Every structure is written in C-alpha cells, then in structure tokens.
Amino acid sequence: MGRTSSTKEDAGALFHSLRSAYAATPVNLKIIDLYVGFAIFTALIQVVYMAMVGSFPFNSFLSGVLSCVGTAVLAVCLRIQVNKENKEFKDLPPERAFADFVPCNLVLHLVIMNFLG
Amino acid sequence: MARRLAGFLVLLLVVSICEAAFLFQPISDSHRSTALELFTPDHGSFKSLEETYEALRTFQILGIEKKPDLTATACRSISETVGSSSSTAKDLFYALKANSIAECKIDKKASKGIISRLKAAVSGASSLLDFYYSVGGLVLIKDQSSEADVHLADAEGVFRSVKAFSQSDGRWRYSSNNPESSAFAAGIALETHAGIVSLASSEIDQSLISTLKNDIIKLFDSIEKYDDGALYFDDKLVDGHEYQGPVSTTSSVLRGLTAFAAVTAENLNLPGDKILGLAKFFLGIGVPGDAKDFFNQIDSLACLESNRVSIPLILSFPSTVLSLTRKDSLKVGVSTVLGSEVPSLTVKLVGAFSSGSKDASLVESQELNFDKTSGLHILNDLPKSIDVGSYTFVFEIVLHEPKHEEVYFKGSQTKVPISVTGLIKIENSEIAVLDSDLGSIESQKKLDLAGKNAISLSANHLQKLRLSFQLTTPRGRSFKPHQAFLKLRHESKVEHIFVVGNSGKQFEIVLNFLGLVEKFFYLSGKYDMELTVGDAAMENSLLVAIGHIELDLPEAPEKAPRPPPQPVDPYSRYGPKAEITHIFRAPEKRPPQELSLAFLGLTILPLLGFLIGLLRLGVNLKNFPTKPLPATFAVLFHVGIGAVLLLYVFFWVKLDLFQTLKILGFLGGILVFVGHRILSHLAAASAKLKSA
C-alpha cells in the first residue's frame, strides 16, 4: 500500500519537477518546442485520416506526413544548436543556426510540393 | 507459166502428209454480215485510203454488193489524193489500190503526173516501204491507165537495192538503219520484187530470182505450227509499234508469195502441206472481230483460192456429235475456202476407228449419198458396228471428172473425231445386305434407278452390303461408264465414296463393313446412299439417292482417328466476331467529401494551437531592428520567405518544376543576400550586448 501510493506520489512528484524544470528553459527554446509539437500533431492527424479512408493517393499521404516530420526534425536540430547549455555548439551563433534552418526547410518543402501531386 | 504453176502445186500438194483432224468451216454468210458491220464508214467515208481499199476489197471477195454512195465517196477521196501534189507515195499507192476496185476514172494528165512522181520516188527511195509504195503504185497505174508503157529504167538496180535489205534467215529489214527484221517485211519485199520483175523493160538476171527463191525457202523454215495442223508466220515482239501479229504477218507473206509466183517462171519448190497449213490457219480464225484481221483473212483466202490453179477443197461438218436415240445421220459438206461451188464429187467414208485403238476399221468403205437440196453428203444410217463412244472417221474425196484433178486440190484422207451418244439401259439393279461368313442374304431389295427410291436397310459391322446392276448400250453391248460411284454420307456429313467395278455388263460393289470400320471412323448411325453413273456418251447419266442404311459399328478405341472436321459455315468462322467493350479500371473509392473537409479543419487546429501557444509564451517583436536599413532588410527577409512559400503554392497549383526552380533560383539569391545582412546585423548586435 505504501509502495503503490509511493509510485503514484513519485509519478506526481516527477511530473511536477519536470514541469518546473521546463519552466526554466529560455523562451526561444520553448517556441521551438511548441513548433515541433505542432508539426507532430499535424502528422498524427494525417495518419488517423489515412487509417480511416485508405491510402489512395499514397504519394500525397507520404508527402504530407514527411513534411511534418521533416520540419520537426529540422526544428529539433535548430534547438540543439541554439541551446546555450549545449557545449558542443558553444561557438556557433544562433543566427547562423537559423540561417541553416531556413534554406533546409525551403528545400524540404520544395521536394514535398513536388511529391504532393 | 500457168502450167508451171500448176505443175509446182499439183506435184507438191499431192505429196501432202495425212493431216490430223481438219474441222474448219469455209467462209459463210456469218462472215458477210460481220463484214457489213465491221466495215461501216464514219459519216460516209473511211478514215484513210488504206481502210477504204480494205473495205472495198473485202466486199469484192465476199461478193457483197457495192454501195453506190461508198463508191462515190471513195472516188472523191481517190481523185483528191491523185490530184494533190503533196500526196506521198503511200497515199498514191492506196488510192490506186482502191481505184483498182472502185474503177473511178483518172484523167490522162493526172496519171502522167502520178507516173513521173512515182518514178522519182523509186529513184529516191531509201527504205523498204518507200520502194514498196512506189513500185506498187507503178504496177497499179500500169493496169489502170491507158498510158503506153510504164517501165522501170534500171530494174536490176532497184531489184538489188531491195534485195540488200534481206537477211540470211529469209527475213527482211525495213531500212539500213533499223537492224530489226521481220517476216512481215519479207512479204512486203516479195511483193515489191514481183512488181519490179513485171515492170522491167528487159529480163532480169535469173540468178537474182534464184537467190530470192532460196530466201523464200529459208523464210518457210521459220514457220510456226499449231497442233491442229495450222501453219503461220509470227515475228518476235520487240517493239510494240512495229509488231504486226500473226494474222497480218502471215497474210503479208502469202500476198508476197502469190505475187512472186505469178511473175516468175521458176518452180518455187515449196511443200504442199505448208500451203495447206496456211489455209487451215486462216480458216481456223473463224470470224475475226477486228477490221484489219478480217481483211487479212479474206484477202489471204482469196490468194489461196483464185490466184492458185489448184484450189483446196474443205470438208465441213455441221455436227460431230451424233445421237443414236435421235437417229442422227452423218452429214458432210464440201466447198472451197471461200465457200464457192465445187464440181461434182463423192465423199467416201474410208474407215472408222475407235478412239485410241489401232484395230481395223469398224465399217466398210462406203460412199455417202449426195442430197441436192441441202448440198450435203449424208450417211443415212450409222452402221450397226458403231455404238456409243468416240471414234475417228476417215474420209476421202473422189472427183468425178479427171480434168478437175488438176484444178482442185483434194488432199489425201481427212480424219475427223466423231462422238456417238445414246441411251444406256440400266437393268437388274438390286441392293442387298449379306452375312459376312456364309454370304447368305439377310435382306434384298430391288431398285429402280430411273425413278425415285427410298430404300431403308440396316446392317452391323459383321455384314456386307452389295449393290449390283447391268448396263447395256443401244446396240446391246456392254458399256463401261467414265464414272460409277457409290457414296455413303453419315448424318454428321462425313462422306465416303466407292468406285463400282464391273465385269462385262454386270456392275457390282460389295462393301465389307468389317474392313471398313476404321475408314468410317467408327461412326454408327444413318448413312444416306447415293449412286452416280455418268459418261459423255451416255444421254441418261444419273445421280440418284438410293435410300439410307442404319449401320451399327463398334465403339471407337482410344487411338482411333477422328473424322475430319466438316466445313463450318464460313460466316461463323470468317464473319465478324463479337464486339469487345473495353473495361476501364474502376476508379478508386474516394471518401465522402464531408469527411475530407472535416479533417481539413482538424489539420488546421494544430496551427491554431501553435499560434495560441506562441501568444501564451509572450512572443514579441522587441528585437526587430529600428534603424531603417536593417529594418528594410528584415522586412525583405520575411517578404522573401513569404514569396518562396507562395511560389510553392503556385508550383502545386499550376507551375512545373523547371519554372519553379528558375524563379526559386532568383528569389533564393535575393533571400540569401538579405538574410545574410540581417542575420549578421543581429549577430553583431547580440555580440555587442554580450561583451558590454
């Protein structure tokens, strides 16, 4: 009884500590996290739609899902590079990271638009 | 000279070989009516003097009355040509030829002019045809005008010039330029030579005439032959223009030959059967449909008939198929080639031989009765020895008066194929089914092959079928027809044919079904029976359905041959097939539109969530540069990104990849420049802040 309640309390305590830790992250990182969440959510909705109506036309589905996933991945890369606590990218100015992020996204979306059909 | 001519012909024609069947009809009224049809002038006159002459000559030979208007128009064109100074030697030649028949008057002055012009033409002639027309014209005017003497000054020289065109094979060339030689030209050359000899003021060297004789013999070496004994001359078809055809060529040679024989005293030494062969050729043409061929045929036959002292006699047969049933009698007509009267003579039937057999004659030598009303020689009753079948009858002509022997040529025996037909009696016809081993009759039925039959029999594979009948000719002899078949046809249309053999009069066929089981493809069932008996000599050939027979054959083993496939209705196999409608791929099932729209809305939701979250996080634009230059760059940067995204929308809607890439290249270039400026400005600003 103590153990189950402790696991529940532990889960609650874990959640709270995560939440407070997260609150400490800088705003720009939070923006990027929000963007990633938006992209993944959109992908999920598309997958649910496909599950409902079937995979015709398959190329459209793929391009839709991959655009979401691709842009999420690129955003995660941006977050890694912009995060000040990351020792590896200490010398990389965030503007430079953003300057990489924008063209990569543009190329991704060109390919996606071509594949959309 | 006439005696010499007679001598040459009688000597040589009497030595003629017995020819094969000679079934040529002499000239008759059908010729006369055709002549009137063919030689009708266009609007009263012919196209040329040549045609006028041909028409007049044909009418003259056939004995058709000269129409006065035809003569008048002919005279008009003749006098026109004769009077005109621009007429060529050819025109004068044909005008004079026509005049020899039309007999229009030519005045003295005109005839003098013609003579001088023709003499000039002779001296100026260079080709064979030039010589022919000019010399021929002079010969004609000599007969027609009252002028004293028309002579050729240097006859021997002219003779040699014409002879120069001859070739070693007996043919002549038309001119020294043209290497082509023809028999047609040879005929023309012979006529020209004859004309020269008759116009010569002094005797021509006999050696020249002998060489010409040799040329004629060489020419006759190139004569061609048909199977029925007709002989003719033909040239090789080299040039369409010059080619004359066998009728024209042969008649040209004959004319030349006749003209030459008339002027020389020498014996031409030609075999008589060659002349006979030429007569057969012209008679074998029948009634030509072309005016030129008609004229050539009639003119040549006239040469054979009247210019010769010995006139060939032709046997003609109104019918060569005689029927014993109708009691036909054999009729023979005798006439000359042009159908003229012949002196009194008798036709003798020397013998009759069965076709293809070398046995003795079936009839005795007997004379035919002459019937004055029809002008035919008739054998009233066919001898009893002549039964149905095909025979060769041999005839001979016997002239009553010896002096006619020198005038007419009767030839030796003539063989003629005669067919005799009759009704064949079919008797004792019966059909029976026999048991195989013992030969005992199981069922037997009588047949009436002349009438209808509907026999119904049945047999199994252990039995035999026998069909028998007797055939007798009207004279009571046995007869073997060309066809005697029994046909059995199964219900599935598979047929089997058997030949009915005979021994003497009795015809019998026995079908042993035990041996025929495999041939019949093991098909049991109803077979229709049909008997065919036929022959050309049989007037009552028959094809009669006898009835049907039910055959019970054993089952077919595995490896038995299948019956051949019967012909199918050609329309079902070769006709149009059913139309194929193409089935297109069914389109994919699309979701209902409302569901799609609902999900479109759902997809927008995360975007809204993102924007709301941004607001909650408290994003601001505080870091936006205030100074004008960086601000411009910043604005341009965002506008640039927006433009690229808009380009992508256009790409999806309308543009293709290449256009997009082109524009993207352009926009990208701007974006890189602007982005670099603003971001470096921002980086510098934050670096300054950090260091400060």
**Strand order across the B483-490 sheet:** B455-460, B542-552, B525-534, B483-490, B495-499
Residues 6+ apart with CB under 8 A from B421: B321, B322, B323, B324, B325, B388, B536, B537, B538, B539
Torsion, Cα B662 B663 B666 B671, to 10 degrees, reads -130
Nearest to B429 by CA among B406, B446, B450: B446
pLDDT for the residue numbered B288: 84
pLDDT for the residue numbered B527: 92
Cβ–Cβ contact B617 with A under 8 A: yes
Confidence of residue B309 (pLDDT cuts 50, 70, 90): very low
Instruction: Give domain limits for chain A.
Output: 26-115
Tens digits of residue pLDDT in B626-645: 788 888 888 888 899 999 99
How many CB atoms are closer than 10 A to CB B204?
Answer: 18
Q: Any idea what DSSP says for residue B550?
A: E
Torsion, Cα A55 A61 A62 A63, to 10 degrees, reads 160
Nearest to B453 by CA among B532, B533, B529: B529
Rounded CA-CA distance A34/B682 in Å is: 23
Question: A99 vs B664: CB contact, 8 Å cut-off?
Answer: no
Rounded CA-CA distance B395/B417 in Å is: 11
Cβ pair B376, B318 in contact under 8 A: yes
pLDDT for the residue numbered B10: 47
Residues 6+ apart with CB under 8 A from B447: B429, B430, B431, B453, B455, B469, B546
**Angle between the N-to-C axes of helices B49-62 and B68-83, in degrees from 0 to 180, rounded to the nearest 10:** 140
State yes or no: pLDDT of B15 exceeds 50.
no
Rounded CA-CA distance B280/B285 in Å is: 9
A10–chain B nearest CA distance, Å: 29
Cβ–Cβ contact A28 with B under 8 A: no
Question: B607 vs A38: CB contact, 8 Å cut-off?
Answer: yes
Indicate the average pLDDT of chain B. Answer: 82
Confidence of residue B310 (pLDDT cuts 50, 70, 90): low
Cβ–Cβ contact B84 with A under 8 A: no
pLDDT for the residue numbered B47: 76
- Identify which of B664, B679, B680 has the shortest CB distance to residue A110: B664
- Number of Cβ pairs < 8 A linking chain A and chain B: 78
pLDDT for the residue numbered B494: 87
State yes or no: pLDDT of B361 exceeds 60.
yes
Q: Residue B295 corresponds to which tokens in the numbers above?
A: 């004229």
The two most distant CA atoms of chain A are separated, in Å, by 59
What are the chain A neighbours of B664 within 8 Å (beta carbons)? 110
Tens digits of residue pLDDT in B63-93: 887 777 778 888 888 888 877 877 788 888 8
Instruction: Give the DSSP H/E element, type plus range, for residue B312.
Output: strand B311-316
Rounded CA-CA distance B194/B135 in Å is: 9
Question: A99 vs B599: CB contact, 8 Å cut-off?
Answer: no
Cβ–Cβ contact B615 with A under 8 A: no
| CA distances from residue A45 to A64, B522, B602 in whole angstroms, order as listed | 10, 78, 7
Rounded to the nearest 5 degrees, what angle is found at the Cα of A32, between the Cα atoms of B605 and A51? Answer: 40
Q: What is the 3-state secondary structure (H, E, C) of B321-353?
A: EEECCCCCCEEEEEEECCCCCCCCEEEEEEEEE
Cβ pair B249, B282 in contact under 8 A: no
State yes or no: pLDDT of B403 exceeds 80.
no
A95–chain B nearest CA distance, Å: 6
CB crowding B527-557: b at 16 or more within 10 Å, else e: bebbbbbebebbbeeeebebbbbebebeebe
For B170, left (φ over 0), alpha (ψ -120 to 50), or beta? left
What are the chain B neighbours of A93 within 8 Å (beta carbons)? 683, 686-687
State yes or no: pLDDT of A31 exceeds 80.
yes
Q: Give percent of chain B with pLDDT exceeding 70.
A: 91
pLDDT for the residue numbered B12: 45
Tokens 């005038």: give the residue.
B407
Question: B603 vs A95: CB contact, 8 Å cut-off?
Answer: no
State yes or no: pLDDT of B20 exceeds 50.
no
Confidence of residue A1 (pLDDT cuts 50, 70, 90): low
Question: A54 vs B609: CB contact, 8 Å cut-off?
Answer: no
pLDDT for the residue numbered B292: 86
| CA distances from residue A64 to A77, A106, B294, B584 in whole angstroms, order as listed | 20, 15, 99, 30
Confidence of residue B454 (pLDDT cuts 50, 70, 90): confident
Tens digits of residue pLDDT in B484-525: 999 999 988 889 999 999 888 899 999 888 888 888 888 889
Q: Residue B454 corresponds to which tokens in the numbers above?
A: 């509907």
Identify any residues that bridge with B487 across adjacent strands, giving them in sequence order: B497, B530
Rounded CA-CA distance B26/B691 in Å is: 144
Q: Any idea what DSSP says for residue B84?
A: -
Confidence of residue A39 (pLDDT cuts 50, 70, 90): very high
What are the chain A neighbours of B672 within 8 Å (beta carbons)? 103
State yes or no: pLDDT of B406 exceeds 70.
no
Confidence of residue B17 (pLDDT cuts 50, 70, 90): very low
Q: Which domains does chain B have, with CATH numbers?
A: 27-147 (no CATH), 151-235+242-271 (no CATH), 314-421 (2.60.40), 425-568 (2.60.40), 629-682 (no CATH)
Mean pLDDT of B152-179: 82
List the alpha helices (DSSP H) in B200-356.
206-221, 246-263, 272-284, 291-302
State yes or no: pLDDT of B16 exceeds 60.
no
Nearest to B89 by CA among B101, B100, B77, B81: B81
Q: Give percent of chain B with pLDDT exceeding 90.
A: 7
Q: Which residue of B has its CA nearest to A95?
A: B679
Confidence of residue B271 (pLDDT cuts 50, 70, 90): low
**Three-state DSSP class for residue B226:** coil
Q: What is the 3-state secondary structure (H, E, C) of B636-686?
A: HHHHHHHHHHHHHHHHHHCCCHHHHHHHHHHHHHHHHHHHHHHHHHHHHHH
Q: Which residue of B has its CA nearest to A117?
A: B652
Cβ–Cβ contact B645 with A under 8 A: yes
Which one is predicted more confidently, B115 or B150?
Answer: B115
Instruction: Give the DSSP H/E element, type plus range, for residue A102.
Output: helix A94-116
Q: What is the 3-state secondary structure (H, E, C) of B2-15?
A: HHHHHHHHHHHHCC
Cβ pair B130, B121 in contact under 8 A: yes
Confidence of residue B5 (pLDDT cuts 50, 70, 90): low
pLDDT for the residue numbered A64: 93
- Identify which of B605, B651, B687 has the shortest CB distance to residue A113: B651
Cβ pair B498, B532 in contact under 8 A: no
State yes or no: pLDDT of B474 exceeds 80.
yes
Cis, bond preceding A57 (omega within 30 deg of 0): yes
Q: Which residue of A has its CA nearest to B601?
A: A45
Amino acid letter, residue B410: K
Which one is predicted more confidently, A7 or B12?
Answer: A7
Tens digits of residue pLDDT in B553-591: 888 888 877 888 777 777 877 888 888 888 888 887 788
Question: A34 vs B610: CB contact, 8 Å cut-off?
Answer: yes
Confidence of residue B678 (pLDDT cuts 50, 70, 90): confident
What are the chain B neighbours of A52 within 8 Å (beta carbons)? 591, 595
What are the chain B neighbours of A27 within 8 Å (beta carbons)? 617-619
| CA distances from residue A6 to A14, A20, A58, B277 in whole angstroms, order as listed | 11, 20, 48, 144
Question: B657 vs A114: CB contact, 8 Å cut-off?
Answer: yes
Indicate the average pLDDT of chain A. Answer: 88
Question: A54 vs B651: CB contact, 8 Å cut-off?
Answer: no
What are the chain B neighbours of A111 within 8 Å (beta carbons)? none
Rounded CA-CA distance B178/B187 in Å is: 17
| CA distances from residue B248 to B182, B186, B253, B334 in whole angstroms, order as listed | 12, 12, 9, 28
Contacting A residues, span 51-110, partner chain B, CB-CB under 8 Å = 52-54, 56, 93, 95-96, 98-99, 102-103, 106, 109-110
Rounded CA-CA distance A29/B360 in Å is: 139
Cβ pair B118, B134 in contact under 8 A: yes
Which one is predicted more confidently, B532 or B620?
Answer: B532
- Contacts of B477-480 with CB under 8 Å at 24 or more apart are B477/B387, B478/B502, B478/B504, B478/B505, B479/B388, B479/B424, B479/B505, B479/B535, B479/B538
Residues 6+ apart with CB under 8 A from B383: B352, B362, B363, B364
